[in-house]
């Protein structure tokens, strides 16, 4: 069977199954199975599918995923995340402190949790009602929190960078550290966006805020756990003391202790964190397993390699190839969430980017920023609906979308900076080596 027949067949079946409402993991598996039967036959393919499913669940590297998810859920169910926002809001005595505090809290949360949606839920659940009460504009309030949640995706540890490393076989540690400087730039860009917003639309930011000053004891109990957890993850991975999986295990254990000790976590909250992690991993586990089947069929028929050769035969410049890929992902991000896109498209795209001459660590950072844009673009922008849901109908989905546009512009500008100056992402990994 020709490679293009397989590629178009897989894509056609996948779109068909998704359009009739089949969940993406099952759609991926269902699209793969007819071609798997052509390769191995019915009985062998069933056994092969079972082995690949089992292989995903016992993969050592992938054990970091549930541990980071559990860590984020613990912080979300305790008072550590919400208190971080209160500290940054009440501790910064200037106009717009709640908006700046939301960005800072989202960045701090991103340093200990790699999930965009968990970040938006945790910080947004506390910050959005408070910002609306203080008189902030609906678009600014919802936009800064929806976009702030994406900082968890770029600032390490990041689940998208972790999945990217697994699919492309790149160093997880190098990918994590490559995201540090772009992450800092993006946080600074969001602050500038709020500053400019306040100048252009001063009515959206109140002149004074009636926020009580946080006691020193609460400040220590708030900042201390986040700094300690982030330090454990950072030092363990980058100093070569532990693998990302081991660092995630130690950080998750430490988070359990801190969440109970200073975060006010209850046994009910602890159980909810466990069940929420299980639900998330149930979906991700099926998605990973189906993605492995999908990738196996693609690889067997050499679809990525043949696609790369075909694309390069048009003799396009590397930056034209990059532009086409980025536009493709932004459009696709309007309909699929980032994890699904990673396992559906990346096995075909990354060989093309490598053949075009781009560093795959650098492309991992650019790819991750593009995935951040994806969670802010309708109709399937997850963060949009998270923020709209926690507003309890005080904010419309249109308000959230309009509020996100300036922050999406900041992300696009960061991609342009990375294209012009790749060392922004590559300098730190090179120094660490």
Q: What is the pTM of this model?
A: 0.85
What's residue 364's pLDDT? 95
Output the CA angle 384-385-389, nearest 5 degrees: 125
Radius of gyration of the chain (CA): 22
Q: What angle do CA 78, 84, 88 make, to 5 degrees?
A: 160
pLDDT, position 11:
86
For residues 151 and 183, the answer to whether their CB atoms sit within 8 Å is: yes
Q: What pLDDT is recorded for position 212?
A: 60
Query: Tens digits of per-residue pLDDT, 336-384?
Result: 778 888 888 888 899 999 998 999 999 999 999 998 888 888 776 778 8
Q: Rounded CA gap, 399 and 369, in Å?
A: 23
pLDDT classification of 312: cutoffs 50, 70, 90 = confident
For range 178-184, the mean pLDDT: 91
Q: Is the pLDDT of residue 407 over 90?
A: yes
Contact (Cβ atoms closer than 8 angstroms) between residue 188 and residue 259: no
pLDDT score of 415: 95
Distance of alpha carbon 410 from alpha carbon 119, whole angstroms: 19
The least confident of 39-53, 81-95, 410-424 is 81-95
Lowest mean pLDDT among 19-28, 57-66, 119-128, 214-223: 214-223
Residue 187 has pLDDT above 70, yes or no: yes
The b-or-e profile of 316-346 (16+ CB within 10 A means b, else e) is eeeeebbeebbeebeebbeebbbbbbbbbbb
Is the pLDDT assigned to residue 84 strictly greater than 80? no
Long-range CB pairs of 90-95 (<8 Å, 24+ gap) are 90/211, 90/212, 90/213, 90/214, 91/213, 91/214, 91/219, 95/198, 95/205, 95/206, 95/207, 95/208
Q: So what's the pLDDT on residue 238?
A: 77
85 within 8 A of 141, measured Cβ to Cβ: no
pLDDT band at 268 (very low <50, low <70, confident <90, very high): very high
HEC letters along the chain: CCHHHHHHHHHHHHHHHHHCCCCHHHHHHHHHHHHHHHHHCHHHHHHHHHHHHHHHHCCCHHHHHHHHHHHHHHHHHCCHHHHHHHHHHHHCCCCCHHHHHHHHHHHHHHCCCCCHHHHHHHHHHHHHHHHHHHCCCHHHHHHHHHHHHCHHHHCCCCHHHHHHHHHHCCCHHHHHHHCHHHHHHHHHHHHHHHHHHHHHCHHHCCCCCCCCCCCHHHHHHHHHHHHHHHHHHHHHHHCCCCCHHHHHHHHHHHHHHHHHHCCCCCHHHHHHHHHHHHHHHHHHHHHHHHHHHHHHHHHHCCHHHHHHHHHHCCCCCHHHHHHHHHHHHHHHCCCCCHHHHHHHHHHHHHHHHHHCCCCHHHHHHHHHHHHHHHCCCCCCCHHHHHHHHHCCCCCCHHHHHHHHHHHHHHHHHHHHHHHHCCHHHHHHHHHHC
What's the average model confidence in pLDDT over 401-423?
94
Query: Is 80 exceeded by the pLDDT of residue 91?
Result: no
Q: What are phi and psi of 375, to 5 degrees?
A: -80, 0
pLDDT at 211 > cutoff 70: no
Percent of the chain with pLDDT over 90: 21
Q: Rounded CA gap, 156 and 173, in Å?
A: 9
The pLDDT value recorded for residue 433 is 66
Cβ-Cβ contacts under 8 Å for 67 (sequence gap 6 or more): 245, 248, 249, 251, 252
How large is the average pLDDT for residues 159-177?
Answer: 88
Instruction: Evaluate the omega torsion of the peptide bond into residue 150 and state whether it is cis, within 30 degrees of 0.
Output: no
Q: What is the mean pLDDT of residues 20-34?
A: 86
Burial of 21 (0-12, 13-18, 19+ CB in 10 A): exposed
Burial 380-396 (b: 16+ CB within 10 A, else e): bbbbbbbbbebbeeebe
Whether residue 379 is preceded by a cis peptide bond, meaning omega within 30 degrees of 0, is yes
- According to the model, what pLDDT value does residue 133 have? 82
């Amino acid at each position: 069977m020709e490679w293009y027949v397989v590629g178009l067949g897989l894509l056609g079946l996948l779109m068909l199954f998704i359009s009739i409402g089949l969940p993406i993991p099952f759609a991926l598996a269902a699209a793969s199975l007819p071609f798997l039967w052509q390769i191995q036959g019915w009985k062998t393919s069933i056994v092969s599918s079972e082995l690949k499913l089992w292989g995903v669940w016992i993969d050592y590297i992938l054990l970091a995923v549930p541990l980071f998810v559990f860590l984020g859920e613990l912080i979300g169910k305790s008072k550590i995340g919400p208190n971080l926002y209160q500290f940054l809001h009440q501790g910064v005595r200037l106009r717009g402190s709640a908006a700046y505090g939301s960005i800072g809290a989202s960045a701090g949360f991103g340093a200990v949790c790699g999930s965009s949606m968990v970040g938006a839920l945790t910080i947004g659940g506390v910050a959005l009602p408070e910002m609306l009460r203080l008189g902030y504009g609906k678009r600014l309030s919802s936009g800064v929190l929806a976009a702030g949640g994406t900082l968890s995706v770029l600032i390490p540890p990041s689940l998208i960078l972790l999945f990217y490393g697994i699919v492309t076989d790149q160093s997880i540690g190098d990918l994590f550290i490559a995201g540090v400087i772009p992450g800092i730039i993006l946080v600074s860009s969001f602050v500038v966006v709020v500053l400019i917003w306040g100048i252009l639309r001063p009515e959206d930011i109140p002149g004074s805020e009636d926020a009580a000053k946080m006691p020193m004891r609460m400040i220590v109990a708030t900042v201390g756990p986040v700094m300690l957890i982030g330090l454990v993850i950072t030092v363990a991975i980058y100093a070569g003391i532990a693998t990302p999986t081991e660092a995630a295990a130690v950080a998750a254990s430490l988070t359990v202790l801190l969440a109970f000790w200073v975060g006010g976590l209850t046994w009910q909250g602890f159980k909810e964190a466990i069940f929420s992690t299980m639900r998330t991993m149930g979906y991700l586990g099926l998605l990973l397993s189906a993605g492995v089947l999908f990738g196996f069929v693609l690889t067997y028929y050499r679809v990525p390699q043949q696609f790369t050769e075909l694309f390069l035969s048009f003799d396009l410049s590397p930056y034209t190839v990059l532009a086409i890929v980025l536009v493709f992902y932004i459009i696709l991000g309007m309909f699929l969430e980032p994890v699904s896109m990673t396992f559906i498209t990346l096995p075909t795209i990354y060989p093309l980017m490598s053949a075009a001459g781009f560093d795959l660590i650098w492309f991992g950072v650019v790819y991750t920023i593009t995935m951040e844009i994806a969670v802010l673009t309708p109709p399937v922008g997850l963060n949009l609906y998270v923020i709209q849901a926690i507003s309890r109908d005080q904010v419309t989905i249109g308000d959230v979308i309009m509020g996100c546009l300036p922050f999406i512009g900041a992300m696009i500008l960061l991609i342009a900076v990375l294209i012009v100056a790749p060392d922004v992402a590559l300098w730190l990994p090179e120094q660490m080596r």
